[in-house]
Structure 1
């Protein structure tokens, strides 16, 4: 009898352990495996413009297939679209017949004809270069030559490295006619009298990776879980390392999105349709999320939970995430209600001056009125590894990623099950 009791006790323990494992949101083993794959040197930094991005896309698609999800678009889980890549080279700017060094000018758009009556502006020695630069760039209707004081030479050279990337445009959208801008280092009153460049264009295919888990009773109401899987590729070598692996940005968010898909598939109680999507080309203009968002009915999207950089603890401490645009809808508040009594907390975005709400892949749907928010733990004012070759898996806190996934999984459960509906964001676009 004693042996029989022990046998039943052991069986009960076994069943308890099995049940716990089945209902566990995620595991450190899965997180580590996915992270190490996406952030491996083999992926060459996952640039949307490099062929290695195919490897990352195929890996994510294989995870979706193994989980048992259905393709959202094409049968291979890819949502394909085309962009036009415009390369500008052999740029020349001359003042009184003398060519300026390449690092001392930034030509945006077509070369400005010296005979044109362009607006002539300046960025003086006592002005904040970044603020003034942004003001000038935001005026899309005015062609301008901008004389920059030599004090700002280092800033101009830095901005050139950022802005002199290939120009990419979605072929599905009408091309915008932006007025040219020419920033140049010179003495006050000096104006370029000769400018030229050569331009070539190339059509490229890009692809989001997207899967769907149909809802049971509310199939026409969508909840989106997303992250971007691209990064910035290969950089000038630092200590013989040139690959910007993008472990935190945003392999961590992509890992979370995949693990949430696995969890909700196992729960099998989603009344609303769940869409899981890995966006491409976030780093060069959010083209993946723009294409996706412009090809879905925003009125059917109940919520979008976009996950960006959760590899380290937030400024609010362990087991916490912040939500961009927290007060624009009550999504964050609903999710906080659902984790009451646990160690998890959701907080308003502490970096208000960064305008993060409209700087990530949630932006287009948020502008269309969807409660679309980005969830993050990144301390962007302190992160020394952001967009460097040092953003590797070894620098991440796997437990922080795990707790963030658990918080989102439990926080969103009422929305997934159709019991809660977030308020809409005020529309910026029709």
Structure 2
């Protein structure tokens, strides 16, 4: 190898080292398609399909090399609901300078299961909430590769949301809420919001300055977070963020679901083919960018009263 070849070789290595991680559409498609596939049998809690989804998420966390959550010997956070065994899937990236301050990224991986008969039996739940779970996995990979989080990042896929929020209740009861700086709960981001592409809303926007911080970090982009346009639906209290919000945590749900006109909500037709995967990828990228100052310890959202 000549002297000049060596120079270009090392320049290439330096360039690669300086490249920031990115969130790729093909990865979003891969994860989303697997979670919403028929073989997951609708991911209903206490079923074989739910177990299959859990194993898939655990394997993704393992590939990313997430740490185990405190006190666990793996990625399963096991508990009992309705007298039956169930589990969340949870991993973490320890914070560099503020390891005892937690930022949570979450979604629920359970859905409605299957019908007993008919040509199409599977409630695939592509939007609800394979889309959110896909986002959590993609964000875990992004932040692990970035390696710049000052606060500890917790990535969790809850089970039991569809039947009473069992997974998020167990998690919330087994963590010190004062250590949780913020919770990004991601629910149904696979379709365009009422404002079109490059937008989403935040439930409970007025209850803390969480949303204002996110929007500030997106200055100069074409993405916008809005207040929840469906106040009568009480969405702030209807997803997995609610348990920690009750304890004062600025725990909010990010969504695009048009609750007054979402044609596939809780229907057999909620399949991958109905999603806008380009827009969904951009939403996940925007969550990554907008969360940076909270992740890096520069911003601390106000607590929820």
Same fold (TM over 0.5): yes
Q: 1:52 aligns with which of 49, 53, 60?
A: 49
Alignment of 1:328-339 (within 5 A): 328-339=207-218
- Output the aligned Cα RMSD: 1.9
In terms of fraction of residues, the more strand-rich structure is 1
Match of 1:32 among 16, 23, 29: 29
Deviation at 1:418, TM superposition (A): 0.3
Match of 1:253, SS state, is helix
Equivalent residues of 2:186, 2:253 under 8 A apart: yes
From 178, 181, 191, the counterpart of 1:299: 178
* Alpha-carbon distance, 1:287 to partner: 0.4
| 2:98 is the alignment partner of 1:218 | yes
Q: Map 1:23-422 to 2 at 5 A.
A: 23-72=20-69, 73-84=71-82, 203-235=83-115, 237=117, 240-422=119-301
1:357 shift after superposition: 0.4
Please report how far the alpha carbon of residue 53 of structure 1 lies from its aligned counterpart in structure 2 after TM superposition. Answer: 1.0
Q: 1:246 to 1:217 in 2, by over 3 A?
A: same
| 4+ residue segments displaced more than 3 Å | 10-16
SS at match of 1:23: coil
**Greater mean alpha carbon deviation, residues 395-404 or residues 72-81:** 72-81
The two structures have a TM-score, normalised by structure 2, of: 0.94
* Alpha-carbon distance in 2 for matches of 1:399, 1:11: 35
Task: Provide the C-alpha distance between the structure 1 equivalents of 2:188 and 2:225, rounded to a whole number of angstroms.
Answer: 15
Deviation at 1:343, TM superposition (A): 1.3
Per-residue deviation, 1:74: 2.7
The CA deviation at 1:44 is 0.3
Structure 1: runs of 5 or more not aligned? 85-202
Deviations 1:191-223 (A, max 9, x none): xxxxxxxxxxxx310000000110011011000
Per-residue displacement from partner, 1:337-365 (whole Å, max 9, x unpaired)? 00100111111000010000011000011
Are the counterparts in 2 of residues 312 and 378 from structure 1 also a CA contact under 8 Å? yes
Structure 2 unaligned residues grouped into runs of 5+: none
* 8 A Cα contact 1:371 1:423, kept in partner: yes
1:123-179: CA deviation from partner (whole Å, max 9, x where unpaired)? xxxxxxxxxxxxxxxxxxxxxxxxxxxxxxxxxxxxxxxxxxxxxxxxxxxxxxxxx
Distance in 2, Cα, partners of 1:261 & 1:207: 19
Structure that is richer in helix per residue: 2
2:190 touches 2:279 (CA, 8 Å); kept in 1? yes
Instruction: Report the structure number with the largest CA radius of gyration.
Output: 1
